[in-house]
Chains A and B, each alone.
Chain A
Amino acid sequence: MTGTALRAFREENPSALAAIPAVPSSATVTESSLSGEQTAAVPDLANWSSSAGDLSVNMAAVSRIAAASITDIESPKNQVVAEWHGMVTELLESNFVAELQGILGVGVRGAIEEAVIPIDEVREEDRGLLEPGAFFRLCVNNAIRSDGKTRRRFTDVVFRRLPAYRRDELEEAAERGRAIARAIRVE
């Protein structure tokens, strides 16, 4: 994927998300999404307690999760055609600029792009994460009908929620704190 493809897409789709590269319609790397979520009964938390009367229910839940495997198959809704790793580099009035690196998709993986993305594309709940240096994923998806045919193509911008601290960083900070505390002399 080159900048040329991105520019061409922007020219053809001036009102669309500028970051969407021209993903080949024949792309074969596809992913899907959850739709047929299992509908097991939701426990009424207000009625749950640690009493012996609930033990059988509790242990059933524990057993079910302990045995969790990858064998459950969920129904599809969306299939990802391409996925990009993005980093915000600049905030504009109604857009932001980002560096994109292709993660999944034919002709996309490994490609590097710069894109201008409308802030409107960012979910309301992620707006607070929008700042230079923030990481996000941009996915181009196909919505799939129940008969298996593609309904429409759409993009999804999801900002990443990464840990603020690393475990070793915290431990090092704690050790530094202990050293400082030991050095303090109270007279």
Chain B
Amino acid sequence: MKLDSSTLSLVLVGKFSPGDFSIESFVKTHSIGDEDAAQARYEAFVRDQVCDIRFHWGKFAVVDQKLVIEVNEAPYIRASDLALKCLRELSQGAVVRQMGINYQAFFAANSEERDAVGRRLVPPKNWGMWGNQVAESLNFGISDPRHGGMTAAALRQGKPDDRPAGHIDARVEPANRDSVWGVLVSINDHYEMPKGRDGKLVPDRTATGTLLDALEEAFDKSVARSIEIARQIMEAT
């Protein structure tokens, strides 16, 4: 199976001021270049509620509790750089409590290849008598409504050593993109600040500083790791 497309999404969860962000403020702080600014367009803009900007390389969107930067072409580091620029220069009152560095890869695959992935990751025989029925149903053609199989498989790595709290999730599922069938692999590399020993949230400033430092230091490693996870999941088929 061949990699067809991939996307990197950086998702920050906390408290944000959408009114701090605009194409104009990005230009003023040199967060984007003139060419990017000229090509940028607003998908949605309601002062203090929502700012959703589309660039030729992806998008920036923010509401009061979530900031998302999606990058669809290399280099993915654009997401990290723009987020750091936004929160360290443009909107210093922002609070970050959770962070996801999310990689998604779509592999074009025919029905036999998709079923092979399903059989390997979620063997029907491990599901008892009913699983055997599902295994038998794989013999029906893909257009036959009786054809069953894996709808999704997910695996979580509990708190990795490189963060105060969080996890890495991988999810594999059949998907269709622009009428092309395939297998979608989604990696969610999740970071968050745990509560203090007293059970209370750590101060905003501490949480934000810790997670932005983690973003700066871990971004490239996270992307490389996620690409490798996706590659190895698919390579075994």
Residues of A within 8 A of B (CB): 28-37, 40, 42-43, 45, 48, 50, 54, 58, 61-62, 64-66, 68-80, 83, 85, 103-104, 109, 123-126, 137, 139, 141, 148, 156, 158, 160-168, 170
Q: Which residues on the A side are within 8 Å of B231 (C-beta)?
A: 28-29
Of A71, A103, A124, A148, the contact of B4 (CB 8 Å cutoff): A148
State whether A62 and B50 are in contact (beta carbons under 8 Å apart), knowing that A32-B6, A123-B35, A167-B209 are contacts in the complex.
Answer: yes
Q: Which residues on the B side are within 8 Å of A76 (C-beta)?
A: 4-5
Contact B4 A65, beta carbon cutoff 8 Å? no
Closest to A157 in B: B75
Per the 8 Å Cβ criterion, residues 22-47 of B in contact with A are 30-36, 41-47
B2 at the binding interface (Cβ < 8 Å)? yes
State whether A164 and B106 are in contact (beta carbons under 8 Å apart), knowing that A62-B63, A68-B61 are contacts in the complex.
Answer: no
Of A29, A68, A125, the contact of B227 (CB 8 Å cutoff): A29
Q: Which residues on the A side are within 8 Å of B49 (C-beta)?
A: 58, 61-62
Q: Which residues on the A side are within 8 Å of B212 (C-beta)?
A: 167
Q: How many chain B residues touch the partner (CB < 8 A)? A: 71
State whether A32 and B46 are in contact (beta carbons under 8 Å apart), knowing that A70-B102, A156-B74, A163-B89 are contacts in the complex.
Answer: no
B98 at the binding interface (Cβ < 8 Å)? no
The interface stretch among B52-60, B112-120, B126-134, B193-201 is B52-60
Contact A31 B74, beta carbon cutoff 8 Å? yes
Contact A34 B62, beta carbon cutoff 8 Å? no
Contact A164 B89, beta carbon cutoff 8 Å? yes
Nearest 10 Cβ contacts at the A-B interface: A33-B73, A34-B72, A125-B33, A80-B74, A76-B5, A137-B75, A61-B44, A163-B88, A32-B5, A70-B102
With the chains together, A77 CA to B178 CA distance in Å?
13
Q: How many inter-chain residue pairs (CB < 8 Å) link A and B?
A: 171
State whether A45 and B35 are in contact (beta carbons under 8 Å apart), knowing that A73-B177, A80-B74, A148-B2 are contacts in the complex.
Answer: no
State whether A34 and B81 are in contact (beta carbons under 8 Å apart), knowing that A43-B45, A66-B65, A70-B7 are contacts in the complex.
Answer: no
Contact B72 A163, beta carbon cutoff 8 Å? no
With the chains together, A61 CA to B57 CA distance in Å?
21
Q: Shortest beta-carbon distance, B73 to chain A, in Å? A: 3
B150 at the binding interface (Cβ < 8 Å)? no
B15 at the binding interface (Cβ < 8 Å)? no
Of A79, A125, A158, the contact of B3 (CB 8 Å cutoff): A79
Contact A68 B81, beta carbon cutoff 8 Å? no
State whether A70 and B41 are in contact (beta carbons under 8 Å apart), knowing that A65-B61, A104-B224, A148-B4 are contacts in the complex.
Answer: no
Q: Which residues on the A side are within 8 Å of B50 (C-beta)?
A: 58, 61-62, 65
Contact A33 B42, beta carbon cutoff 8 Å? no
State whether A73 and B35 are in contact (beta carbons under 8 Å apart), knowing that A42-B42, A167-B212 are contacts in the complex.
Answer: no
Closest to A101 in B: B220
Q: Which residues on the A side are within 8 Å of B44 (C-beta)?
A: 43, 61, 64-65
What are 14 A-B contacts defined by CB distance under 8 Å? A32-B73, A34-B72, A42-B43, A48-B45, A58-B49, A61-B46, A66-B66, A68-B61, A71-B186, A80-B73, A85-B220, A124-B35, A125-B36, A137-B74
